[in-house]
Structure 1
Amino acid sequence: MNEPWKSSLAAGAVYRSRVRGCILGGALGDALGYPVEFSSLYRIRRDHGPLGATGLVADGQNVVGRVSDDTQMTLFTVEGLVRAHRRDGLDGLGEAAPRLVRDAYRDWLRTQQEHGPGPAHTGPTGGLVTEHWLYARRAPGNACLSGLAEDHVPLPSAELGPPGPVNSGSKGCGTVMRSAPFGLTGASAESAFGLAARCAQITHGHPTGYYAAGALAAIVAHLLSGDSVEGAVLRALRLLGRHPGHEETTAALEAALDLAAQGDPTAEKVEKLGAGWVAEEALAIGVYCALARLRVADALLLSVNHSGDSDSTGSLCGNILGARYGDVALPHEWVAQVEKRDRIAALADDLAAECAPSDPGDPV
C-alpha cells in the first residue's frame, strides 16, 4: 500500500537532521579550532604532538569545548531568521529579514559590551540576549564590532557588486562564519545567497566578503536539497559568476576544488589556500577540508590544524559536513563536550520547525 505521508515524514526527519547537523557541526569545528587560533602550525604540533590537535583541547583558561564569536553570531543569525519567518510566513526571507537579522546582531553586540543581561536588555522578544553564557568576548572581529555600531540595514533589493557603505574595504571572515543559517530556511539557493550577501554588508562592505557569505549560504541550500559537497560548490560557483566583482571568491573556491582533486591532504596543502583571516580563504579552507577527507572527524581536524583562523575554518567545515550528512554523522563524543550543545541543538530545532518545507501529503 502506497503511503506517501511516510516518505514525507522521512524527508522531514532528514531536513531536521541536516539543520541540526549544520549548526552543531559549526559549533564543534569552532570548539576544535578556538584553542589553537592564532597559533602557527609549528606551535600546534609542538604543543599537541606531530599530528597536531587530535580532538578537543583546553583553551588558555583550561576549559574544553568553548565556542567563539563564530558560533555566537551564527546563533544570533538563526534567531533573526526565525523572527523573520514568523513575521513573513512562507516569505520568511522578505523585506523584513535584513532588519530583523540586523536587530539580532545588535543584540549580539550587547553581549560583547555588557557583563550580563539586565531588565533594559531583553531584546524585542527576549531570546538569546537574555542568556548569561553568551556574555563572553571570544576574540570578536573588529569589523563586526565597528560595523554594527553604524546601524546599517541593507535594502532587500539593493544591487550586489559595488562596495557597501560600512567598512567598504573589509572582507574579513566575520561575514562568512555566521552565514550558514541563511541556507537552512528552505529558500532557493539564489534567495539564500542574496540575503546572506546583503546581511553581510551590515558589517563588511568589500564584495569578496559578502560574496563569500552568499556562496556559503548557497552551498548549504544545495546540500539540504541532496547535492554532494562538490556538486553544491559547483552550483554556487555558477551563481557567483552572475555578479560583478566575484572573481576573488570564485578563484578561492576553484583553488579548493583543484587542491582536493590532488588527494593526499595535508596541513601544508591547507596553508596553500591561505590562513583564513579573510572571507574567501576561510571558505576555501572549509570546502577543501570537507572534500579532502572521507571521515567527518578527520576533515574537522584537518580544518583546524594550520597556521591561522582555525576556529572559523573549523566552523565552516562543520557547517558544510553537518548540512551534508546530518547530526548523526558528527562525532558524538566530541559533540557532548561542546559548550551549551543542548541549547545550540534546540535553537537549530526551532529553525527547522519554523522553516520546515510543507507538503500537502503530510498528515494534519
Structure 2
Amino acid sequence: MRRQEQEAWRARVRGCLLGGAIGDALGGPVEFQDGRTILAKYPDGVRSYVDGGPGWPPGTITDDTQMTLFTVEGLIRAGVRTDRGLGFTVGVVHGAYDRWLDTQTLPGPSGERNGWLQGEQWLYARRAPGNTCLTALTEARKGGPRIPQYGGQAVNDSKGCGGVMRVAPFGLLPAEAPIDWVFDKAAEAAGYTHGHPTGKLASGTLAAIVRELCDGAGLDDAITRATSLLIRHEGHEETSTALQLARQLAATAPAGPVTVERLGGGWIAEEALAIAVYAALAYPEPDQFLDALALAVTHSGDSDSTGAICGNILGALHGETALPAELVFTLEGRAAILQLADDFALEFTQQQRLHGDYGPFTAWTTRYPGG
C-alpha cells in the first residue's frame, strides 16, 4: 500500500469506528421510544446527544460500540497470532467477545485477563446489551461437545441485529484479504452469537460494503458489489429483498421517519442494515453526515444499532474529516476508539516492525497477545 493510499485508508478506519460510535450514542437514549414521541421532542430528528437517564449522560455509547471495539481488538490479536505459524484465526475474535462478556458481568477488570482493552474501567457498564449475545457467549464459555469454546457457531435461530452492528471492522482489513473472505469471516463472527442465516449474511454484506468503500468505491457501487456476493449464498432472500427496498425508497420516497418505518424497526439484522443503507443513500454527501445519522436514529426501533451501522458506512465512505465536530469531541471513549483505530492500522501495515525479533516478549504483543 503506497503512502497516499495508506493515509486515505487510515482516515477511513478512523471515520468508520468513530462514525459508528457517534451514531450509536445519538440513538441509544431514544432506542425504546416511539417515533412520534421522538419527533415531538426533536422535530428535526435527533441531531445532538441527549440524556439517557441515570448513568447515561449525553454522548454515551452502548453495547454496539463496545462489541465493535472488541471486534477490532480481536482482529489485531489474530494478526499477532500469525507469528505462531497458525494463519489468521478468526476464532480469536470469539475470545475477544468473551472478554466483552466480562465487562457485562463483572464490576471491573478481574486481573485474570490479558491485553489492555479489558482493563478499561469505562467499558464495564451495561447499556442494554442484547440477551442473545449474553446467552450465546455464556453458553460458549462453558464449552462442550455441541459448542466449542472459541470459534463455534451459536446454537440458536436468532437473526437479531446484534451480529451486524459489530462486524464493520472486518471490512476495514487491507486489500490483501479477498472480499469474499471478508464477507464469509464477518458472517462467521456474527454466527458466534446469532445462528440464523439472515443474521450472518446481513453481517457479511455490511463488511463487504465497508470493504468496497475502503477500496474507493462509491456508495451505490459498493452496495451493488456487496449484494452480488450476498446473492451467491443460500438463504439470501430476506437480506437482498430488504436492501432492494432500501435502495428503491432512497430513490423514490421522501427522506423522513415515515419512510424509515417502512423498512421495519431494525431489531432484526436485515432491517437494521436496510435502514442504515437507506439513510446513507438519502444523504450521501460529506456535509450531510449528520442528516443521515439523524434519519437513521429517528424511528420506532433499534435506533442505536441503525445509527451505528449508518455511521460505520458513511465514516468508511468519507473518512474522519466528515464527522460532525460537535459530536466527536464529547463522545464517550473517544481516546480508546482512536487508539484502537490507529493500532489496527499499525498492525496491518507495520507488522514486521512491531512484532520484532523477540516474539511474545515485545511490548506490542503484551498489549495484543496472540490469543
Confirm or deny a common fold (TM above 0.5).
yes
Match of 2:330 in 1: 337
Give the one of 301, 305, 308 matched to 1:308.
301
Match of 2:143 in 1: none
Pair 1:137 & 2:130 matched: no
- Structure 2 matches for 1:124-273, cutoff 5 A? 125-151=114-140, 152=147, 165-167=154-156, 169-186=157-174, 187-273=177-263
2 CA distance for matches of 1:174 and 1:42? 25
Match of 1:299 in 2: 292
Q: Structure 2 vs 1, CA of residues 154 and 211 (structure 1 numbering), >3 Å: closer, same or farther?
A: farther
SS at match of 2:278: helix
Contact 2:136–2:154 at 8 Å: present in 1 too? no
2 CA distance for matches of 1:348 and 1:332? 18
Contact 2:47–2:290 at 8 Å: present in 1 too? no
* Deviation of 1:261 (Å): 1.0
Q: Describe the superposition over 1:130-181 as per-residue Cα deviations: whole angstroms up to 9, x where unpaired.
A: 110000000000110011112145998x9xxxxx5521x1000001000000
SS at match of 1:273: coil
Q: Aligned residues, how many? A: 339
Q: Structure 2 vs 1, CA of residues 307 and 87 (structure 1 numbering), >3 Å: closer, same or farther?
A: same
Give the one of 84, 88, 94 matched to 2:78.
84
Pair 1:110 & 2:102 matched: yes
The one-letter amino acid of 1:323's match is A
- Indicate the larger mover: 289-298 or 26-35: 289-298
The one-letter amino acid of 2:138's match is A
Contact 1:15–1:356 at 8 Å: present in 2 too? no
The one-letter amino acid of 2:318's match is Y
Q: Describe the superposition over 1:7-32 as per-residue Cα deviations: whole angstroms up to 9, x where unpaired.
A: 92111110100001000000000000
2 CA distance for matches of 1:58 and 1:198? 35
Contact 1:30–1:70 at 8 Å: present in 2 too? yes
Give the one of 93, 111, 116 matched to 1:119.
111
Contact 2:94–2:150 at 8 Å: present in 1 too? no
Match of 1:14 in 2: 8
Structure 1 stretches of 5 or more lacking a match? Answer: 1-6, 159-163, 359-364
The one-letter amino acid of 1:32's match is L
* Deviation of 1:118 (Å): 2.2
2 CA distance for matches of 1:338 and 1:107? 23
The one-letter amino acid of 1:79's match is E
Q: Describe the superposition over 1:255-284 as per-residue Cα deviations: whole angstroms up to 9, x where unpaired.
A: 111111115311110110000000000000
The one-letter amino acid of 1:272's match is R
2 CA distance for matches of 1:296 and 1:53? 13
The one-letter amino acid of 1:34's match is G
TM score, norm. by length of structure 2: 0.87
The one-letter amino acid of 1:24's match is L
Match of 1:97 in 2: 90
2 CA distance for matches of 1:229 and 1:319? 12
Contact 1:290–1:321 at 8 Å: present in 2 too? yes
Percent of paired sites with the same residue: 52
The one-letter amino acid of 1:110's match is D
Q: Structure 2 vs 1, CA of residues 339 and 195 (structure 1 numbering), >3 Å: closer, same or farther?
A: same
Contact 1:263–1:292 at 8 Å: present in 2 too? no
The one-letter amino acid of 1:106's match is D
Contact 1:154–1:202 at 8 Å: present in 2 too? no
SS at match of 1:171: coil
Q: Structure 2 vs 1, CA of residues 153 and 255 (structure 1 numbering), >3 Å: closer, same or farther?
A: farther
Contact 2:79–2:88 at 8 Å: present in 1 too? no
The one-letter amino acid of 1:38's match is F
The one-letter amino acid of 2:81's match is R
Give the one of 18, 23, 48 matched to 1:29.
23
Contact 1:154–1:201 at 8 Å: present in 2 too? no
TM score, norm. by length of structure 1: 0.89
Pair 1:325 & 2:315 matched: no
SS at match of 2:2: helix
Q: Structure 2 vs 1, CA of residues 18 and 165 (structure 1 numbering), >3 Å: closer, same or farther?
A: closer
Q: Describe the superposition over 1:265-307 as per-residue Cα deviations: whole angstroms up to 9, x where unpaired.
A: 1111011000000000000001110110131110011101111
2 CA distance for matches of 1:227 and 1:254? 19
